[in-house]
């Protein structure tokens, strides 16, 4: 059987063919080992399959211009490892790849980019003795499991076997519930305008593919939700960062910079989180939102509004979502129960109209043929029964207590030159660092002290350095929060002490040569 094999490399071809095995080549391995490795590679690539007959020793030696003993030694080496077997009078045959050499097919460049991005993410799983301030997920100890179990049983009792089939467009009951719920926030939509999806993450993926082709760009706030960056990269799009600020006269995305970015032909849409922004925790004002809408309308570019945290306000006056202020039809709001209820049901939605709605429905069908109707019906029952409203009331109170505990601890223990903004809802507080502190160094040192934070780099396009980190108070009780901030303050003090000492040593060394 013919397969791709090249003559082995050697330092001196005059000397290489004489002895058994030849001399070492430029690869630093004997010639027979180079031949054996090429045959192993051919088996891994399936160019040589199990049962395939290898060339006769004499024929392969002539083809590679090496001594017959060199090829014979290569075959012996392969046979001893189990790659080939010799049958007397018949030849040498492939016996198949050995278990220690699994096939590892090459990945696409797009997926390689996605893996590079994923490496910057702080893992959700943490040791039991670590105080976790890093993961933007609700506290599982507060999940309304019993109430949801009753809703699931009620949904199955009512829907029966019909709930176990496909559902083109999603469970009708959930679409009705979501439309009615968003109407309470000023977002007017009929149930038919609701496209259900596997959480808001899938919704963003659908919208991005609806408006952009691989190689195009989607404008994003920087910093922004890290998973959103991964979603865009995963569908072959380029996140185009727009500076966004937590403090100043007008917190939020830089509108002048946004106008310049949206003017670029390659930028097809803008993804934003104006309410309880992740990771900054801020909420933009009504006037900022109106100006943003005007900029998008002038550019003719759609806005993807991440409204997944709008149910989590625990103080202050609500600001209408962009979708509630929109007269042009350019805003497509994303909604999810992942932060307000629990993420495991994967119930989310995106609202659209006209051709955009048709496109999202078609993409959804092509992606997964529909959602888990049983869970969707259970969530709809949970909302209709009043359980969701009662759960939200309790969850908001808990978030307010934990947020206050963290703000008090930050005020008491952190140095005065660190800055943060008190949120009015959501899960997180963004801490801005002075120039002498690096977020990655703080993250690493805090982890050694038993505190896990989310460094700002992971919320930046291409992992660019950030002068801040995110703290999540949703998963820890007030006592844990206070202990975690005390440890974090100690870490920052140690880093600064070490930095001052290092500068002192540098000055002393410089002085001895002055």
| 3-state SS, one letter per residue, for 100-157 | CCCCCCCCCHHHHHHHHHHCCCCCCCCCCCCEECCCCCCCHHHCCHHHHHHHHHHHHH
CB of 319 closer than 8 Å to CB of 286: yes
For every residue of 419-488, which 3-state class applies, written as one string? Answer: EECCCCECCEEEEECCCCCCHHHHHHHHHHCCEECEEHHHHCHHHCCCCEEEEECCCCCHHHHHHHHHHH
Which CATH code is given to the segment(s) 121-136+390-512? 3.90.1150.10
- The CA-atom distances, in angstroms, between 19 and each of 62, 66, 70, 295 are 15, 10, 8, 78
The residues near 505 (Cβ < 8 Å, ≥ 6 apart) are none
The residues near 469 (Cβ < 8 Å, ≥ 6 apart) are 430, 431, 433, 439, 442, 443, 453, 454, 455, 456
| Overall pTM > 0.75 | yes
Could you give the maximum distance between any two Cα atoms of the chain, in Å?
Answer: 89
The SS3 of residue 402 is helix
Which of the residues in the chain have pLDDT under 50? 11-26, 513-514
Q: Can you give the pLDDT at residue 25?
A: 43
Among 474, 442, 409, which Cα is nearest to 133's? Answer: 474
The residues near 404 (Cβ < 8 Å, ≥ 6 apart) are none
Phi, psi torsion values for 101, nearest 5 degrees: -130, 70
Q: Where are the domains of the chain?
A: 13-94, 121-136+390-512
Q: Can you give the pLDDT at residue 96?
A: 60
Q: Can you give the pLDDT at residue 486?
A: 98
Number of Cβ atoms within 10 Å of the Cβ of 329: 13
In angstroms, the CA 235 to CA 359 distance is 16
Model confidence pLDDT, tens digit, residues 449-497:
999 999 999 999 988 888 999 999 999 999 999 999 999 999 999 999 8
Q: Give the torsion sign (CA, 432, 436, 437, 438).
A: positive
In angstroms, the CA 265 to CA 367 distance is 27
- H/E run at residue 255: helix 255-262
In angstroms, the CA 247 to CA 252 distance is 8
Structure letter (DSSP) for residue 53: B
Model confidence pLDDT, tens digit, residues 413-423:
999 999 999 99
Q: Can you give the pLDDT at residue 191?
A: 96
Residues in the chain: 514
In angstroms, the CA 455 to CA 439 distance is 5
CATH 1.10.10.10 given to domain 13-94: yes
Among 327, 354, 326, which Cα is nearest to 193's? Answer: 354
In angstroms, the CA 361 to CA 366 distance is 9
């Amino acid at each position: 059987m013919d397969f791709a094999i090249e003559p082995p490399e050697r330092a001196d071809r005059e000397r290489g063919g004489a002895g058994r095995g030849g001399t070492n080549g430029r690869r630093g391995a004997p010639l027979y080992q180079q031949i054996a490795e090429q045959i192993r590679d051919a088996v891994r690539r399936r160019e040589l399959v199990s049962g395939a007959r290898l060339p006769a020793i004499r024929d392969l030696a002539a083809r590679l211009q090496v001594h017959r003993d060199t090829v014979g030694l290569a075959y012996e080496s392969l046979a001893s490892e189990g790659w080939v077997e010799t049958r007397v009078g018949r030849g040498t045959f492939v016996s198949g790849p050995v278990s220690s050499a699994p096939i590892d097919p090459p990945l696409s460049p797009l997926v390689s980019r996605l893996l590079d991005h994923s490496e910057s993410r702080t893992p959700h799983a943490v040791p039991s003795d670590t105080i976790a301030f890093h993961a933007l997920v609700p506290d599982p100890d507060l999940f309304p499991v019993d109430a949801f179990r009753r809703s699931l049983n009620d949904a199955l009792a009512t829907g029966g076997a019909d709930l176990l089939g496909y559902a083109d467009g999603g469970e009708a009951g959930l679409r009705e519930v979501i439309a009615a719920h968003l109407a309470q926030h000023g977002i007017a939509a009929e149930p038919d305008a609701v496209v259900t999806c596997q959480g808001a993450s899938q919704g963003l993926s659908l919208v991005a593919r609806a408006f952009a082709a691989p190689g195009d760009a989607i404008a994003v706030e920087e910093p922004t939700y890290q998973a959103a960056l991964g979603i865009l990269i995963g569908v072959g799009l380029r996140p185009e960062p727009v500076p966004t600020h937590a403090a100043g006269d007008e917190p939020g995305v830089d509108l002048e910079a946004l106008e310049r970015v949206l003017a670029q032909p390659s930028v097809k849409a803008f993804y934003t989180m104006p309410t309880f922004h992740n990771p900054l925790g801020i909420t933009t004002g009504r006037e900022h939102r109106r100006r943003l809408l005007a900029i998008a309308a002038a550019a003719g570019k759609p806005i993807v509004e991440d409204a997944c945290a709008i149910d989590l306000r625990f103080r202050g006056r609500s600001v209408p979502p962009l979708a509630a202020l929109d007269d042009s039809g350019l805003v497509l709001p994303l909604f999810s129960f992942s932060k307000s209820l629990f993420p495991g049901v994967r119930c989310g939605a995106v609202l659209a109209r006209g051709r955009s709605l048709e496109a999202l429905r078609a993409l959804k069908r092509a992606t997964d043929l529909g959602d888990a109707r049983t869970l969707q019906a259970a969530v709809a029952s949970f909302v209709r029964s009043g359980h969701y409203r009662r759960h939200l009331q309790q969850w908001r109170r808990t978030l307010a207590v934990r947020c206050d505990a963290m703000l008090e601890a930050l005020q008491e223990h952190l140095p005065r030159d660190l800055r943060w903004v008190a949120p009015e809802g959501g899960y997180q507080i963004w801490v801005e660092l002075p120039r002498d502190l690096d977020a990655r160094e703080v993250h690493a040192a805090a982890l050694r002290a038993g505190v896990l934070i989310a460094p700002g780099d992971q919320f930046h396009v291409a992992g660019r350095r950030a002068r801040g980190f995110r703290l999540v108070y949703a998963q820890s009780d007030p006592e844990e929060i206070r202990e975690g901030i005390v440890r974090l303050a100690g870490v920052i003090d140690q880093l600064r002490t070490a930095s001052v000492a290092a500068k002192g040593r540098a000055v002393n060394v410089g002085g001895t040569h002055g």
